[in-house]
Structure 1
Amino acid sequence: MYRLLIVDDDQELCSLLTSYLSQEGFEVTSVHDGGEAAARIRSADFDLIVLDVMLPTMNGFDVLRDIRRQKSVPVLMLTAKGEEIDRIVGLEMGADDYLAKPCNPRELVARIRSIIRRAEAMPPQLDAEESKDLTLLDLTIEVGKRIVSVNDEVIELTATEFQILLLLADNAGELVKRESISEECLGRKLAAFDRSIDMHISHLRKKLGAGTTGEERIKTIRGVGYQYVAI
């Protein structure tokens, strides 16, 4: 049974989501305060955190920042409908995905299952026999252990960032379309005006740093997709 933490100051919504998610087989804990959430996350392990932005004591961004200092647990941000800036900031800070409120509980369950699946499963483009280390100059990806290092220094990535990097690196030098990244790494079809992939790529670039030639490792093919440049 997967353990979820719902962080939202709307107690009625938490009650409804707890009831629905429990029926779907999840073990659910809910808190309604950002400070309490941060303390709970430090002291307990969860498989995924559903995190609202607007919270008392600590807002969702501060809680997410606190999480990413210590854990790589998947985080699904809940944002107000139409607040694109919240989605962008959340993704830049390391959220795995976002969902606008009010949300359909069935879509929430689908997003949760997709995030958990990609966080723990073998990457979709590789089977168990192919899960060998992948090395591209100073970049090493230990697929089975889900460890990424640059010049032997381990880089902490979220599950989504790992999946995207692995897909690009496994196709180094080739164009990987945005549609493929969305379907294979986010678990959903690419939606119009969805900037999730762009934010994850931006985060990867910052974490990985420049390549051996001083240029960006991930090249944008404008309007089409991305390419890992192994030079």
Structure 2
Amino acid sequence: MHRILLIDDDTQLGGPLAAYFARFDMALEHCLRPSDGLARLAQGGIDAAILDVMLPEMDGFALCRAIRKDSDLPIVMLTARGEVMDRVVGLELGADDYVPKPFEPRELVARVQTVLRRRAPAAPKAAAADPNHLCFQGLRIDVATRTVLRNGDAVDLTGTEFDLLLLLARAPGKVFSRDDILNQLRGHEAELYTRAVDIVVSRLRKKLEPLDCIKTLRNAGYTLALAPLAASAAGSAA
């Protein structure tokens, strides 16, 4: 059972939420003050945190920053303010998702479940696989040196373009929505906090031509439409 820590000064919120989370096999604990929440986190055993923005002692952004100094714990921010800028700040500080108040408990549960799945350990790779090299037909990504070869030629990518390609390449065939990209590439160029994700994808596509590897699924997102090479083929292509 996952243990979730809610840090929110609303004394009426913890009980009903705990009962609701229990229906989804999650145990929710409630701390009213950031200092109490940090002390509880230090004890260990918490799988994700839900932070209110408006808190005594320090706001939720400062609390998120404090947690991120020592932990990669999944974090969902709660706030009564729905401005885009608040979401940007939260993501820049390391939050994994952002839910404005008032919210439906089912939505909050779904968001928490999503960030827990996103942080779950990946399935073990085959022993012969090289995690530092992702190889596809016509495309080779060197994770350690952050270099990309397209049909044997080096491709000059920005840091954001490389990280976007790496995100897609680590799960070929998986569809990533714009929100997925925003959340997983947090802390990068400011452009990735707007709809200009489409522009970054367009630039990356152009640099990878003539390969037609990044597909758009209408109203869904983007996916890398290349099959990974087998270990033996990847080795011969190196």
Distance 1:222 1:14, change over 3 A: same
Count of aligned pairs: 178
Q: Which residue of 2 aligns with 1:65?
A: 65
Distance 1:24 1:169, change over 3 A: closer
- Could you tell me the TM-score, scaled by structure 2's length? 0.62
Structure 2 unmatched ranges of 5 or more = 134-140, 147-162, 191-195, 209-238
1:203 aligns with 2:187: yes
Quote the Cα distance in structure 1 between the aligned partners of 2:168 and 2:59: 34
Tell me, yes or no, if the aligned pair for 1:164 and 1:181 is still in contact at 8 Å.
no
Q: What are the residue-to-residue correspondences of 1:127-146 with 2, within 5 Å?
A: 128-129=125-126, 132-135=130-133, 136-137=141-142, 139=144
User: What are the Cα deviations for residues 31-59 of structure 1, in whole angstroms up to 9, with x where unaligned?
Assistant: 01112212221232311101111111121
Q: Which residue of 1 aligns with 2:199?
A: 222
1:55 aligns with 2:60: no
Tell me, yes or no, if the aligned pair for 1:9 and 1:56 is still in contact at 8 Å.
yes
Instruction: Output the amino acid matched with 2:199.
Output: R
- Cα offset, 1:27, TM superposition: 1.5
Quote the Cα distance in structure 1 between the aligned partners of 2:198 and 2:53: 32
Instruction: Output the amino acid matched with 2:24.
Output: E
Quote the Cα distance in structure 2 between the aligned partners of 1:58 and 1:103: 23
Distance 1:121 1:7, change over 3 A: same
Q: What are the residue-to-residue correspondences of 1:1-231 with 2, within 5 Å?
A: 1-122=1-122, 128-129=125-126, 132-135=130-133, 136-137=141-142, 139=144, 166-170=166-170, 180-182=175-177, 190=178, 197-198=181-182, 200-201=184-185, 203-204=187-188, 222=199, 224=201, 227=204
Instruction: Output the amino acid matched with 1:139.
Output: A
Instruction: Output the amino acid matched with 1:111.
Output: R
- Cα offset, 1:168, TM superposition: 3.6
- Could you tell me the TM-score, scaled by structure 1's length? 0.63
Distance 1:225 1:81, change over 3 A: farther
Distance 1:221 1:26, change over 3 A: closer
Quote the Cα distance in structure 2 between the aligned partners of 1:131 and 1:102: 46
Quote the Cα distance in structure 1 between the aligned partners of 2:202 and 2:143: 23
Higher Cα Rg: structure 1 or 2? 2
Tell me, yes or no, if the aligned pair for 1:92 and 1:200 is still in contact at 8 Å.
no
State percent identity of aligned pairs. 35
